[in-house]
Amino acid sequence: MKLSQNYIKLVFGLKLKQLRLEKNLSLTQLAEKSGLSISYLNEIESGKKYPKSAKIAVIAQTLDVSYDKLVSLKLSKQLAPIGELFDSNILEQLPLDHYGIDIRKFVALMSNASLQLSALVATILEMAKSSEMSENNFSRTALRAYKEFNENYFEELENAVDSFVIENKIDATPPLPYSRLGKILTEKYFYQIDESTLNSYPELTQFRGFVKSGKNNTLFLNNKISDSQKAFIVSKELAYNHLNYKDRSYSHSNLRLDNFDHLLNNFRASYFAAALMMRNEFIIPDLHTFFALPKWDGNYLISLIDKYNASPEMLFQRISNLSPKFLGLNKFFFLRFNAKENNPGYQLSKEVRLNIRRNPGGFQSQEHYCRRWASVKVLNKLIEEQANYPHSKNISSGILHSKFFNSNDEFLNISIAKQSQFIHDEYYSVTIGFQFDDELKQKISFWNDPAIPFETVNDTCEMCKIPDCKERIAPPSAIEKLEYAEKVEAILFKLITEK
Rounded CA gap, 354 and 329, in Å?
A: 10
Segment 435-463 shows an average pLDDT of: 95
Please, what is the angle between helix 80-87 and helix 115-129, to 10°?
Answer: 40
CB neighbour burial string for 262-285, b if at least 16 within 10 angstroms, e if fewer = bbbbbbbbbbbbbbbbbbbebbbe
**Helix, coil or strand: residue 220:** strand
φ, ψ of residue 396 to 5 degrees: the values are: -150, 145
Q: Which pLDDT score is estimated for 46?
A: 79
Segment 60-82 shows an average pLDDT of: 77
Segment 437-441 shows an average pLDDT of: 96
* pLDDT band, residue 148 (cuts 50/70/90): confident
| Residue 105: HSE in the Cβ half-sphere, 13 Å Cα cutoff | 5
pLDDT score of 49 more than 50: yes
Question: What residue spans of 94-220 are helical by DSSP H?
Answer: 103-111, 115-129, 137-149, 155-167, 178-188
φ, ψ of residue 333 to 5 degrees: the values are: -125, 155
pLDDT score of 65 more than 50: yes
Please, what is the angle between helix 3-22 and helix 80-87, to 10°?
Answer: 170
Of 19-33, 106-120, 173-187, 203-217, minimum mean pLDDT range: 106-120
> Largest alpha-carbon pair distance within the chain?
87
Task: Identify any residues that bridge with 335 across adjacent strands, giving them in sequence order.
Answer: 351, 431
Q: Which pLDDT score is estimated for 134?
A: 46
Rounded CA gap, 78 and 49, in Å?
A: 23
Segment 281-290 shows an average pLDDT of: 97
Q: Which pLDDT score is estimated for 186?
A: 97
* pLDDT band, residue 343 (cuts 50/70/90): confident
Task: Identify any residues that bridge with 395 across adjacent strands, giving them in sequence order.
Answer: 418
Q: Which pLDDT score is estimated for 135?
A: 45
Segment 273-295 shows an average pLDDT of: 97
Rounded CA gap, 180 and 377, in Å?
A: 37
- 27, containing H or E segment: helix 27-34
Adjacency order of strands within the sheet including 218-221: 192-194, 218-221, 209-212
φ, ψ of residue 76 to 5 degrees: the values are: -65, 165
Rounded CA gap, 269 and 280, in Å?
A: 17
> Higher pLDDT residue, 41 or 100?
41
> Higher pLDDT residue, 216 or 358?
216
Rounded CA gap, 419 and 340, in Å?
A: 10
The answer to whether 113 touches 78, Cβ cutoff 8 Å, is yes
DSSP states of 322-389: HIIIIIS---EEEEEEEEETT---EEEEEEEEES-S--TTTTT-SSPBPTTSHHHHHHHHHHHHHHH-
* pLDDT band, residue 133 (cuts 50/70/90): very low
Task: Identify any residues that bridge with 414 across adjacent strands, giving them in sequence order.
Answer: 399, 432
Segment 171-197 shows an average pLDDT of: 94
Segment 430-451 shows an average pLDDT of: 97
Rounded CA gap, 282 and 322, in Å?
A: 12
pLDDT score of 110 more than 90: no
Q: What percent of the chain has pLDDT over 70?
A: 82
DSSP 419: E
Rounded CA gap, 107 and 110, in Å?
A: 5
Rounded CA gap, 165 and 262, in Å?
A: 25
Q: Which pLDDT score is estimated for 85?
A: 63
Q: Which amino acid is present at 194?
A: D
Segment 468-489 shows an average pLDDT of: 91
166 burial class (0-12, 13-18, 19+ CB within 10 angstroms)? Answer: exposed
The answer to whether 91 touches 110, Cβ cutoff 8 Å, is no
Q: Which pLDDT score is estimated for 232?
A: 96
* pLDDT band, residue 344 (cuts 50/70/90): confident
Rounded CA gap, 278 and 165, in Å?
A: 12
Q: Which pLDDT score is estimated for 103?
A: 59
pTM comes to 0.77
**In angstroms, what is the C-alpha Rg of the chain?**
28
Q: Which pLDDT score is estimated for 113?
A: 54
Report which listed range, 26-40, 246-260, 278-292, 382-396, is most confident. Answer: 278-292
Nearest to 354 by CA among 159, 140, 153: 153
Q: Which pLDDT score is estimated for 257?
A: 59
> What is the overall mean pLDDT for the chain?
85
Domains of the chain: 3-130 (1.10.260.40), 151-277 (1.10.10), 282-483 (no CATH)
- 317, containing H or E segment: helix 312-322
pLDDT score of 92 more than 80: no
To the nearest 5 percent, what fractions of the chain are helix, strand and coil? 50, 15, 35
Q: Which pLDDT score is estimated for 80?
A: 63
The answer to whether 132 touches 177, Cβ cutoff 8 Å, is no
Report which listed range, 83-92, 101-110, 198-207, 215-224, is most confident. Answer: 215-224
Rounded CA gap, 252 and 221, in Å?
A: 9
pLDDT score of 385 more than 80: yes
Q: Which amino acid is present at 286?
A: D
Q: Which pLDDT score is estimated for 132?
A: 46
Rounded CA gap, 141 and 135, in Å?
A: 11
> What are the CA-CA distances from residue 76 to residues 22, 113, 331 (Å)?
12, 12, 48
Q: Which pLDDT score is estimated for 407?
A: 86
Task: Identify any residues that bridge with 428 across adjacent strands, giving them in sequence order.
Answer: 338, 418
Q: How many Cβ atoms from other residues are within 10 Å of residue 210's Cβ? A: 21
| Strands 454-457 and 395-404, bridge-based pairing | parallel
